[in-house]
């Protein structure tokens, strides 16, 4: 008997140890208020990691839900609101490898980074300010960090690489959305997704995935600095499409840097869009078949629009790749212009380099957002972790696109399917004219070919801002964009 009792005690101790090792949610709740136009908004913030579990089946037998990842979220809910009529927006950024800090503290959340702008950046240690234009006035907010970004990680013993792919990323974000919606009794709330950059590709695919996997139909998508088809922005051998689609952005950046004299930005863009829609792609397709007189005319037009020399454009055979453009535009002055935002400039160690060694726009933005987040999450949201908060990490690479083997990565089909299945789904596209990463004309190109009936095209709206990829760091653009998104959510939430 004594031996059996000892064995039973050992087994119970082992079970207790296993339970102790099992990850659990570590959410922290705090309460805050914000005054907007004499209206006091009381809201609750919940920050922490949610444990994601997957059903395990072996030899046809169900073995339970196994913890696989811990996903960091920050949720803001308006106190006293009716959850059946109150909208909720799930937001994330892109990369892949980016946390949600940019949309969180740059545009949508109740607090925002104070950092200045191109040409007038504040020095460290930067600061935080109330965001009187927060979308929280119109929608609850849930910011989600994908696995390996922010504080999100695979569980102990798990493999982070399992989540570094188009499909697994989609499934894990969808599961966070499903869990949060169910636990907070929000299935009858108007629901939105807000994504930026790769996050727009994720959001478009999620709109169809949530329908198919969970029966969750959305009210709207907010796609900021949109890329729905990677073939429109990747300069690969034999793919001339990006050269035409980047041209209007080149022209906008050249205009900002004084290459178009007193002309208005709108007149420059009109010319660039017309040239990029007709004469330029025909010239690229003609190659050596293009008569020399027509070739010379194209070189002259390109030089006038891009601010690059005719000699350089002849050397690159009419094809200025985007990184080379950023390096070349102000080379004679020893400057390189930004990729994320062409309004920024920086210096290089070697003025003869072919491409920038770093993006001056990214360098200007990273410090303020990193400082603000690391202070804010501890001092105001009261969430503590000794893990580094991964603002933007390379640890997610290589990123797997195995679903698209042999073809361009595109989710235009998924978005079109979601819109056809849910004719009430509305789409907002926000673009920066000076964005050298996801050019606005590429977004227009994809939308024009979207396979939806004509009567659904009214569900899509486009808005433009005189700034870059994170257009909200430009104060006039931030104010306008906040108003545009508030109008979109309010109009799309009506029953």
- CATH code of the domain in which 474 resides: 3.40.50.1820
The Cα–Cα gap between 374 and 388 comes to 9
For residue 28, report the phi and psi dihedrals to the nearest 5 degrees.
Answer: -120, 130
User: Residue 141's closest CA among 93, 211, 94, 193?
Assistant: 193
Contact 92, 195 (CB under 8 A): yes
The Cα–Cα gap between 385 and 28 comes to 12
The Cα–Cα gap between 434 and 251 comes to 9
Residue 16 domain-assigned (yes or no): no
Question: Which of residues 358, 378, 406 is at a domain's end?
Answer: 358
Residue 456 domain-assigned (yes or no): yes
Query: Does 421 share its domain with 299?
Result: no
Q: Which residues contact 243 (CB under 8 A, 6 or more apart)?
A: 235, 280, 281, 284, 318, 319, 320, 321
Containing structural domain, residue 339: 235-358
Query: Does 213 share its domain with 241?
Result: no
Instruction: Tell me which residues of the chain have a pLDDT lower than 70.
Output: 1-20, 58, 63, 495
134-191 pLDDT, tens digit per residue, is: 999 999 999 999 999 999 999 999 999 999 999 999 999 999 999 999 999 999 999 9
Number of domains making up the chain: 2
Query: Does 316 share its domain with 464?
Result: no
Burial class (CB in 10 A: 0-12, 13-18, 19+), 167: middle
Residue 14 domain-assigned (yes or no): no
Query: Does 141 share its domain with 242?
Result: no
Residue 303 domain-assigned (yes or no): yes
Query: Does 194 share its domain with 216?
Result: yes
Per-residue model confidence (pLDDT) at position 22: 86
pTM: 0.93
Query: Does 251 share its domain with 177?
Result: no
Per-residue model confidence (pLDDT) at position 14: 44
Per-residue model confidence (pLDDT) at position 495: 58
Query: Does 292 share its domain with 420?
Result: no
Pairing, β 87-92 against β 139-144 = parallel
Query: Does 239 share its domain with 227?
Result: no
Place of tokens 């299945």: 421
Query: Does 291 share its domain with 319?
Result: yes
Query: Does 206 share its domain with 328?
Result: no
Token pair recorded at residue 124: 């460290």
Residue 308 domain-assigned (yes or no): yes
Measured CA to CA in angstroms, residue 23 lies from 48, 52, 70, 162, 380 at distances of 13, 10, 8, 18, 25
Query: Does 185 share its domain with 227?
Result: yes
Burial class (CB in 10 A: 0-12, 13-18, 19+), 375: middle
Per-residue model confidence (pLDDT) at position 10: 53
Looking from the CA of 385 toward its CB, the CA atoms found within 13 Å total: 21
Per-residue model confidence (pLDDT) at position 405: 86
Residue 159 domain-assigned (yes or no): yes
332-348 pLDDT, tens digit per residue, is: 999 999 999 999 999 99
Q: Which residues contact 25 (CB under 8 A, 6 or more apart)?
A: 48, 49, 50, 51
Question: Which of residues 329, 358, 387 is at a domain's end?
Answer: 358
Beta bridge partners of 72: 49
Residue 167 domain-assigned (yes or no): yes
Question: Which of residues 308, 323, 358 is at a domain's end?
Answer: 358
* Phi/psi-derived region of residue 379, left when phi > 0, alpha when psi is between -120 and 50, beta in every other case: alpha
Query: Does 244 share its domain with 224?
Result: no
Residue 5 domain-assigned (yes or no): no
For residue 427, report the phi and psi dihedrals to the nearest 5 degrees.
Answer: -130, 130
Contact 308, 325 (CB under 8 A): yes
């Amino acid at each position: 008997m004594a031996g059996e009792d000892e064995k039973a005690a050992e087994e119970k101790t082992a079970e207790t140890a296993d339970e102790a090792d099992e990850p659990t949610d570590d959410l922290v709740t705090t309460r805050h208020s914000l005054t907007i136009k004499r209206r006091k908004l009381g809201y609750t913030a919940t920050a922490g990691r949610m444990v994601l579990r997957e059903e395990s089946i072996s030899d046809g037998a169900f073995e339970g839900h196994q913890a696989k990842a811990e996903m960091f979220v920050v949720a803001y809910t308006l106190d006293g609101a009716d959850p059946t009529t109150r909208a909720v927006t799930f937001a994330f950024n892109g990369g892949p490898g980016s946390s949600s800090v940019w949309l969180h503290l740059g545009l949508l959340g109740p607090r925002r980074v104070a950092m200045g702008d191109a040409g007038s950046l504040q020095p460290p240690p930067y600061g935080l300010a109330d965001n009187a234009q927060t979308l929280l006035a119109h929608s609850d907010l849930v910011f989600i960090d994908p696995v390996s970004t922010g504080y999100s990680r695979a569980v102990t013993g798990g493999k982070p690489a399992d989540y570094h792919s188009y499909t697994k990323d989609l499934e894990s974000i969808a599961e966070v959305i499903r869990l949060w919606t169910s636990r907070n009794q929000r299935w009858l709330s108007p629901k939105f997704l807000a994504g930026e950059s790769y996050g727009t590709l994720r959001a478009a695919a999620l709109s169809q995935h949530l329908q198919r996997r969970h029966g969750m139909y959305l009210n709207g998508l907010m796609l900021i600095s949109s890329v729905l088809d990677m073939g429109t922005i990747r300069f690969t051998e034999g793919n001339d499409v990006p050269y035409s689609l980047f041209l209007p952005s080149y022209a906008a950046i050249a205009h900002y840097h004084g290459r178009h004299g007193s002309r208005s930005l709108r007149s420059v863009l009109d010319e660039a869009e017309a040239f990029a829609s007709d004469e330029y792609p025909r010239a690229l397709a003609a190659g050596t078949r293009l008569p020399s007189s027509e070739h010379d005319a194209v070189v002259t037009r390109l030089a006038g629009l891009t601010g690059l020399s005719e000699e350089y454009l002849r050397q690159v055979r009419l094809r200025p790749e985007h990184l080379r453009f950023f390096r070349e535009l102000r080379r004679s002055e020893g400057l390189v212009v930004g990729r994320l935002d062409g309004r920024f400039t920086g210096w290089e160690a070697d003025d003869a380099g072919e491409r920038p060694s770093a993006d001056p726009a990214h360098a200007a933005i990273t410090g303020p957002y990193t400082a603000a987040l690391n202070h804010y999450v501890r001092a105001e949201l009261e969430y503590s972790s000794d893990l580094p908060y991964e603002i933007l990490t390379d640890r997610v690479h290589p990123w797997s696109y195995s679903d698209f083997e042999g073809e361009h990565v595109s989710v235009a089909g998924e978005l079109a399917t979601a819109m056809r299945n849910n004719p009430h789904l509305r789409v907002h596209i926000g673009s920066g004219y000076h964005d050298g990463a996801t050019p606005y004309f590429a977004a227009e190109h994809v939308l024009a070919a979207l396979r939806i009936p004509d009567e659904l095209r009214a569900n899509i709206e486009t808005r433009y801002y005189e700034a870059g990829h994170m257009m909200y760091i430009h104060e006039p653009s931030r104010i306008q964009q906040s108003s545009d998104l508030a109008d979109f959510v309010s109009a799309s939430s009506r029953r």
